[in-house]
Amino acid sequence: MMEWVRTVCLVLWAFTFNSVAEDLKEQALRLMADTPLIDGHNDLPWQMRSLFNNEFNAENLYILNITHTNIPKIKEGRLSAQFWAAYVPCDTQYKDAVRQTLEQIDVIHRMCHEYPEVFRFAASSQDILDTFEQNKTASLIGVEGGHSIDSSLGTLRTMYQLGVRYLTITHSCNTPWADNWLVDTGSEPEEHNGLSEFGKQVILEMNRIGMLIDLSHVSEKVMNQVLDISKAPVIFSHSSAYSICKHKRNVPDDVLRRVKEKEGIVMVNFFNDYVTCSVNANISDVADHFDHIKKVAGSSIIGFGGDYDGVPRVPVGLEDVSKYPDLVAELLRRKWSEDEIRDALGRNLLRVFREVEKVRDDLNGTKPDDKPIPLKEVQNPCRTNFGYKETSSSACIKSLYPLVLALALLSNLL
């Protein structure tokens, strides 16, 4: 008799649990139908480079199934707007970073051109809303890593003209003007005490042109310096809470509070190593980061920054971009209000974006900053120095002259 009662209770519990889960999922989908889900960081363009060398014509995003992201998954995940990362590795610094970054920007534009029924290129907060009304995925560009501009404000401005709407100040290497997060681990030396003087110029020029400043991947000192000097709110496009997982890619509580004061946003990363500081994680662990950020600084600074296709491990329950509704349902299960959910889905990012655009408009008429980085801070064998007053010759020619002379002498001997 007791065994029969236990069986009945288990069946009733399972039925109730499944019923509640279905109700939460339905509520999540309803919220996502009236508020755009905006994700801060997806590395699908890099997968196009690393897997196919950007031979985009040979691939089909409807059937591609070796990535976290494809068109059916995007539709199932209700992904309304995505900042696609134009990322190139730190190995390109001082070499061909600008070229390779331009090629990644090209991939994103080509993706929108190839699948106009799915993607619409977006370059403003209003573009996101207009695309949402068309039931398409707004496609924005974020350049991941300051090395991609080759210490050039002219390159920064040109990338903005090509549609780039955020720059991640560093990736996992120092630039000639900013220190990256590895400085805080002790594995790389601090070179600039955070930002150099030119680094501060970059921040203010981003304010002037209306480009979002992304502080994922920077050192903690850079986080605070940018928060001090930026005239506009900042973003962390794919970072989580340091108090939950003490990884230097995450955001400390004191910085979370400063982001709140600056009216910025932290878009939570799904990479297991940043979620639990281990190789294993699940959807509940990710929700813990949402809860902690809300507790410390409120729901107004939270967003989604999955980092799909840029990481080797993602949590159980968040295996690909189709799973966003399940995370929303988990937040609802944790008693997040519908208003808080709407904020995290997209209203927070839209607010930040609009304020960045307002700062740009307020600075309309301000001349572009045309003071270049000092030559001594960027001189290297692969960089010419035309225009600098210190010398009229090129660093590359100088460094290669002994080799050229040696080859000439050798040819005379043969």
Active site residue 171: yes
Q: Residue 214 sits in a domain of what CATH number?
A: 3.20.20.140
- Per 3-state DSSP, the chain is made up of helix, strand and coil in percentages (nearest 5) of 50, 15, 35
Given the residues 39, 41, 192, 220, the one annotated as active site? 41
Q: Are residue 178 and residue 68 in the same domain, yes or no?
A: yes
Q: What is the 3-state secondary structure (H, E, C) of 255-292?
A: HHHHHHHHCCEEEECCCHHHHCCCCCCEHHHHHHHHHH
Question: Do the domain assignments include residue 94?
Answer: yes
pLDDT in tens, 306-315: 999 999 999 9
Q: Are residue 275 and residue 326 in the same domain, yes or no?
A: yes
Q: Are residue 386 and residue 313 in the same domain, yes or no?
A: no
Q: For residue 160, give its domain range.
A: 22-370
Helices 97-114, 153-161: inter-axial angle, 10-degree rounding: 10
Question: Do the domain assignments include residue 38?
Answer: yes
CA 8 centroid distance within chain? 49
Quote the pLDDT of residue 256: 98
Q: Are residue 262 and residue 397 in the same domain, yes or no?
A: no
249 and 181 Cβ atoms separated by less than 8 Å: yes
Q: Is 110 left (phi over 0), alpha (psi -120 to 50) or beta?
A: alpha
- Check whether 183 has a pLDDT greater than 80: yes
Determine the Cα–Cα distance for residues 227 and 235; give it in Å rounded to an integer.
Answer: 10
Given the residues 147, 192, 217, 292, the one annotated as active site? 217
CA distances from 58 to 49, 50, 64, 145, 333 (A): 13, 14, 11, 28, 43
- Check whether 207 has a pLDDT greater than 60: yes
Which stretches does DSSP call E strand in 88-149?
A: 119-121, 137-144
- Check whether 414 has a pLDDT greater than 70: no
DSSP secondary structure code for residue 35 in this structure: S
Split at pLDDT 50, 70, 90, the class of 10 is low
Given the residues 39, 307, 340, 343, the one annotated as active site? 307
For residue 156, the tally of other CB atoms under 10 A from its CB is: 24
Quote the pLDDT of residue 389: 84
Rounded percentage of the chain residues whose pLDDT exceeds 70: 90
Quote the pLDDT of residue 1: 62
Beta bridge partners of 37: 79
Determine the Cα–Cα distance for residues 146 and 152; give it in Å rounded to an integer.
Answer: 10
Given the residues 147, 171, 192, 289, the one annotated as active site? 171
Q: Are residue 91 and residue 158 in the same domain, yes or no?
A: yes
Active site residue 109: no
- Check whether 413 has a pLDDT greater than 60: no
pLDDT in tens, 233-274: 999 999 999 999 999 999 999 999 999 999 999 999 999 999
- The single-letter code of the amino acid at 158 is T
Question: Do the domain assignments include residue 15?
Answer: no
Question: Do the domain assignments include residue 329?
Answer: yes
Number of domains in the chain: 2
- Check whether 331 has a pLDDT greater than 90: yes
Helices 348-362, 125-133: inter-axial angle, 10-degree rounding: 140
Q: Indicate the Cα dihedral angle 211, 215, 219, 225, nearest 10°.
A: 60
CA distances from 101 to 70, 80, 281, 358, 367 (A): 22, 25, 32, 27, 26
Active site residue 292: no
Active site residue 217: yes
- Check whether 395 has a pLDDT greater than 70: no
Given the residues 39, 68, 127, 144, the one annotated as active site? 144
Active site residue 184: no
Q: Are residue 267 and residue 384 in the same domain, yes or no?
A: no
Question: Do the domain assignments include residue 2?
Answer: no
Beta bridge partners of 259: none
Closest CA to 215 of 180, 253, 190: 180
Q: Are residue 365 and residue 386 in the same domain, yes or no?
A: no
pLDDT in tens, 263-290: 999 999 999 999 999 999 999 999 999 9
Question: Do the domain assignments include residue 4?
Answer: no
**Mean pLDDT, rounded, for 83-97:** 98
Active site residue 289: no
Q: Are residue 148 and residue 190 in the same domain, yes or no?
A: yes
Between 358 and 401, residue with greater pLDDT: 358
Given the residues 68, 147, 192, 238, the one annotated as active site? 238
DSSP secondary structure code for residue 368 in this structure: P
